[in-house]
């Protein structure tokens, strides 16, 4: 086993001549798949590290981890690393080797970590400093704090100590996480701890195949999970995510869109949906003003990431003109409350949130159910069985959470919500949902 480690020890780092012998470019598809898998964010702040130098953090808001930067990382010219902002697609177990540990000790730690996570195989890489990085992917993006707490719980239950310089759980805080498969970094076999291939370029190809063929195993955090390893010392954090008058997840995304613009290709349509819902439903803007604002925003904030805008801006403008009138103003307040008065909306949301909190649901599921209850109380009708029946457009559901379908399926499975009649083929009608307030 020691021999396997020697294959990727510090002495095996590729030389400048070897790097020039690598392919001069990887395909755009490979780069995009790599970024979507291993980078939680593409926008600054992010880290750059020249070989043999210290990390340099890029904080300029207009800077991005472009395809060219990531390609240079894979070619071994320098390292790149992202800073996770809110969500993470994975949890990274970092086994450090800063204290002169033997390679067998590093291997023993990795084996204990893999044993703690059971049958889920990680994507395993060596680090240039001699340690190891174990990537465990989730079935969907989760809150960074939840990911960290969950991983620490798993490790603590297995008797594994988590501490700096020994075993760390990332991404945490504003730490720059080095992307894998850079210079001197190989994809390893979890069974033998040896590189899958001694050629790093071949490791990159195999990693890409795993992504394309969905061969990466994923973790689903149990619905009943409650963190025990890390309890928040600031109970107001949960309130910030739950109450509508605080910066919840949707509003964080809106704020980022307004301030920074598009952060990835193929994200324009979803951005338009969120911003249109925000302007029409929360700010109570009329159609003309919303269209004007969206058009001004995309002109300044497309960041070169919208292919449609790059090739035909007029087509994008026509798309905006069609989109905005179809945005259902679900959260517009009753006329007697005043279009700019948020007090009634806040009180209604908070009362529903308090009821839903008693159910012990996952946070995202609870947020969705709370929004649906508020929507039903405001827009729906109660039948003779005490159930709320309400039509909810998919744009509204997507505005509450971009991955609302999986959350909704879990609520339906638990019996809090059920599908009603589907009016989607009828003009100006949406799918009906039945909500059971008796449960809450």
* pLDDT tens string 408-417: 999 999 888 9
| Rounded distance between C-alpha atoms, residue 110 and residue 167, angstroms | 9
Burial of 314 per CB tally in 10 Å (0-12, 13-18, 19+) = exposed
Q: So what's the pLDDT on residue 50?
A: 94
**Is 1.10.10 the CATH number for 335-439?**
yes
- Which residue did the predictor score with more confidence, 432 or 134? 134
Are 433 and 418 contacting, i.e. CB atoms less than 8 angstroms apart? yes
User: What percent of the chain has a predicted confidence (pLDDT) above 70?
Assistant: 78
Q: So what's the pLDDT on residue 247?
A: 38
Please give the average per-residue pLDDT across 13-32, as a whole number: 56
Phi, psi of 29 (to 5 degrees): -60, -40
Residue 380 half-sphere exposure toward CB, CA atoms < 13 A: 26
| Rounded distance between C-alpha atoms, residue 326 and residue 290, angstroms | 12
For domain 2-219, the CATH superfamily is DNA primase, PRIM domain (3.90.920.10)
- pLDDT band at 327; cut points 50, 70, 90: low
| Rounded distance between C-alpha atoms, residue 73 and residue 38, angstroms | 13
Q: So what's the pLDDT on residue 174?
A: 83
Please give the average per-residue pLDDT across 2-24, as a whole number: 39
**Residue 387: which region, alpha, beta or left (left: phi > 0; alpha: psi -120 to 50)?**
beta
Please give the average per-residue pLDDT across 221-231, as a whole number: 68
Are 148 and 221 contacting, i.e. CB atoms less than 8 angstroms apart? no
> Residue 340 pLDDT more than 70?
no
Query: 10 Å Cβ neighbour count for 158?
Result: 13
CA distance to 174, 395, 409, per residue, from 147 (Å): 15, 28, 22
Q: So what's the pLDDT on residue 361?
A: 87
- pLDDT band at 426; cut points 50, 70, 90: very low
User: Quick one: which of 281, 282, 268, 392 has its CA closest to 320?
Assistant: 268
Q: So what's the pLDDT on residue 113?
A: 97
Query: Which residues contact residue 241 at a Cβ distance below 8 angstroms, ignoring those fewer than 6 apart?
Result: 248, 249, 363, 367
Query: 10 Å Cβ neighbour count for 139?
Result: 12
pTM to 2 decimals? Answer: 0.54
- Which residue did the predictor score with more confidence, 361 or 92? 92
- DSSP 8-state class, residue 342: -
Q: So what's the pLDDT on residue 348?
A: 61
Tokens of 118: 């059971």
Phi, psi of 437 (to 5 degrees): -65, -15
User: What percent of the chain has a predicted confidence (pLDDT) above 90?
Assistant: 33
- Which residue did the predictor score with more confidence, 187 or 64? 187
Tokens of 236: 């107001």
Query: Which residues contact residue 163 at a Cβ distance below 8 angstroms, ignoring those fewer than 6 apart?
Result: none
Are 304 and 313 contacting, i.e. CB atoms less than 8 angstroms apart? no
> Residue 250 pLDDT more than 70?
no
Please give the average per-residue pLDDT across 45-63, as a whole number: 89
User: Quick one: which of 281, 265, 72 has its CA closest to 182?
Assistant: 72
- pLDDT band at 310; cut points 50, 70, 90: confident
**Of 21-35, 289-303, 397-411, where does mean pLDDT reach its minimum?**
21-35
> Residue 2 pLDDT more than 50?
no
Domain residue ranges of the chain, discontinuous segments joined by +: 2-219, 236-326, 335-439
> Residue 146 pLDDT more than 80?
yes
Please give the average per-residue pLDDT across 255-259, as a whole number: 79
Question: Per-residue DSSP letters for 348-402?
Answer: HHHHHHHHHHTT---HHHHHHHHHHHHHHHHH-EE-TTS-EEEE--HHHHHHH-T
Please give the average per-residue pLDDT across 49-71, as a whole number: 89
- DSSP 8-state class, residue 339: T
Tokens of 173: 């805080």
Q: So what's the pLDDT on residue 109?
A: 95
Q: Which residue has the tokens 């946070």?
A: 363
> Residue 39 pLDDT more than 70?
yes
> Residue 1 pLDDT more than 50?
no
- DSSP 8-state class, residue 50: E
User: Quick one: which of 329, 428, 331 has its CA closest to 377?
Assistant: 331
> Residue 56 pLDDT more than 50?
yes
> Residue 338 pLDDT more than 70?
no
- pLDDT band at 353; cut points 50, 70, 90: confident
- pLDDT band at 127; cut points 50, 70, 90: very high
| Rounded distance between C-alpha atoms, residue 352 and residue 281, angstroms | 19
The end-to-end CA distance of the chain, in Å, is 56
Average pLDDT of the chain, as a whole number: 79
User: Quick one: which of 84, 82, 80, 94 has its CA closest to 146?
Assistant: 84
> Residue 116 pLDDT more than 90?
yes
| Rounded distance between C-alpha atoms, residue 411 and residue 365, angstroms | 7
Identical fold at 2-219 and 335-439?
A: no
Helices then strands, each counted (H, E), the chain: 17, 14
User: Quick one: which of 170, 35, 51, 159 has its CA closest to 109?
Assistant: 159
Are 425 and 343 contacting, i.e. CB atoms less than 8 angstroms apart? no
Q: So what's the pLDDT on residue 365?
A: 87
């Amino acid at each position: 086993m020691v021999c396997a480690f020697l294959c990727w020890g510090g002495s095996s780092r590729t030389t400048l001549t070897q790097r020039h012998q690598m392919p001069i470019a990887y395909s755009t598809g490979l780069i995009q798949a790599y970024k979507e898998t291993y980078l939680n964010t593409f926008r600054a702040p992010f880290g750059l590290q020249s070989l043999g130098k210290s990390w340099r953090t890029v904080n300029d808001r207009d800077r991005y981890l472009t395809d060219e930067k990531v390609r240079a990382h894979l070619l071994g010219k320098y390292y790149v690393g992202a800073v996770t902002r809110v969500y993470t697609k994975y949890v990274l177990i970092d086994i450090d080797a800063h204290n002169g540990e033997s390679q067998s000790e590093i291997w023993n730690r990795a084996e204990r970590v893999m044993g703690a996570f059971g049958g889920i195989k990680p994507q395993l890489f060596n680090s240039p400093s001699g340690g190891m990085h174990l990537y465990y992917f989730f079935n969907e993006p989760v809150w960074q704090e939840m990911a960290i707490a969950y991983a620490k719980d798993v490790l603590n239950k297995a008797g594994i100590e988590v501490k700096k310089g020994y075993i760390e759980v990332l991404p945490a805080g504003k730490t720059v996480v080095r992307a894998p498969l850079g210079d001197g970094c190989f994809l390893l076999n979890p069974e033998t701890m040896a590189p899958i291939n001694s050629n790093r370029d071949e490791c990159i190809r195999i990693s890409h195949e795993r992504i394309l063929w969905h061969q990466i195993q994923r973790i689903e955090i149990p619905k009943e999970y409650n963190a025990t390893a890390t309890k928040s010392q600031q109970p107001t954090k949960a309130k910030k995510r739950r109450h509508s008058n605080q910066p919840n997840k949707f509003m964080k995304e809106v704020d980022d869109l307004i301030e920074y613009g598009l952060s990835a290709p193929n994200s324009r349509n979803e951005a338009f949906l969120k911003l249109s819902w925000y302007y029409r439903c929360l700010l109570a803007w009329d159609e003309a003003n919303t269209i004007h604002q969206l058009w001004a925003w995309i002109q300044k904030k497309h960041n070169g990431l919208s292919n449609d805008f790059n090739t035909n801006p007029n087509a994008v403008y026509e798309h905006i003109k069609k989109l905005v009138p179809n945005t259902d103003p679900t959260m517009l307040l009753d006329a007697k409350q005043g279009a700019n008065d948020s007090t009634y909306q806040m009180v209604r949301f908070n009362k529903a949130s308090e009821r839903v909190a008693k159910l012990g649901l996952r946070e995202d599921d609870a947020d969705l159910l709370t929004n649906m209850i508020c929507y039903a109380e405001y827009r729906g009708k109660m039948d003779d069985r005490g159930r709320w029946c309400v039509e909810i457009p998919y744009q509204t559901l997507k505005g509450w959470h971009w991955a609302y379908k999986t959350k909704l399926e879990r609520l339906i499975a638990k019996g809090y919500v059920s599908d009603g009649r589907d009016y989607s083929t009828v003009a100006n009608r949406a799918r009906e949902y039945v909500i059971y307030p008796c449960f809450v």
